[in-house]
Amino acid sequence: MVRKGNGKNPVAKRINIVALKLVKESSILYKERSIRSPEDSYTLLKDFLGDKDREYFVVVSLNTKNQPVSINVCHIGCLNSSIVHQREVMKSAILSNAASIIIAHNHPSGETTASREDLEVTKRLVDSGKLMGIELLDHLIIGDGKFTSLKEK
């Protein structure tokens, strides 16, 4: 029973009981099974990101054997930018029970040079991952038939 406040006792507050889960929207087939290099990451993501007309920022969650378990479109931006927050990146990684992640985004212009913002978001996500025990393995920028791995840079 909920009592009304009388000045001394505040009005009770109803608190929701929730459950969190991922919802599978679709799937893709990945022949290699595990990610061993930036080229493997590119192979997984090139068809997924290659022909988009806006920036898509994705998170690939990996298990302890570096096998991809999920790809989450974290953010869809505009022609030349995408706002990314650590909380949104780590949300799908946590729900996927990821041991590590790879992040990637496309540049619709086709050019794969990293911007200052690309480098800054990568550093923030590396730091966040360390706090949470989810290692950021790489950040790929995918363009016209090519890619840049920020890990290699």
Task: Give the model confidence (pLDDT) of 31-47 as tens digits.
Answer: 999 999 999 999 999 99
Q: What is the torsion angle, in degrees rounded to the nearest 10, for the CA atoms of residue 132, residue 123, residue 52 and residue 72? A: 0
* Residue 2 pLDDT: 57
Q: HSE on the CB side for 6, CA within 13 Å? A: 3
Are 31 and 44 spatial neighbours (Cβ–Cβ below 8 Å)?
no
* Residue 79 confidence class, pLDDT cut points 50, 70, 90: low
pTM above 0.85, yes or no: yes
- CA–CA dist 68, 101 (Å, integer): 9
* Residue 4 pLDDT: 60
- CA–CA dist 22, 39 (Å, integer): 27
Sign of CA dihedral 30, 72, 49, 64: negative
Over pLDDT 90: what percentage of the chain? 77
Whether 81 shows a pLDDT value over 90: the answer reads no
CA gyration radius, the chain: 19
Length, in residues, of the chain: 153
* Residue 7 confidence class, pLDDT cut points 50, 70, 90: low
Q: Which CATH superfamily is 38-149 part of?
A: Cytidine Deaminase, domain 2 (3.40.140.10)
- CA–CA dist 28, 30 (Å, integer): 6
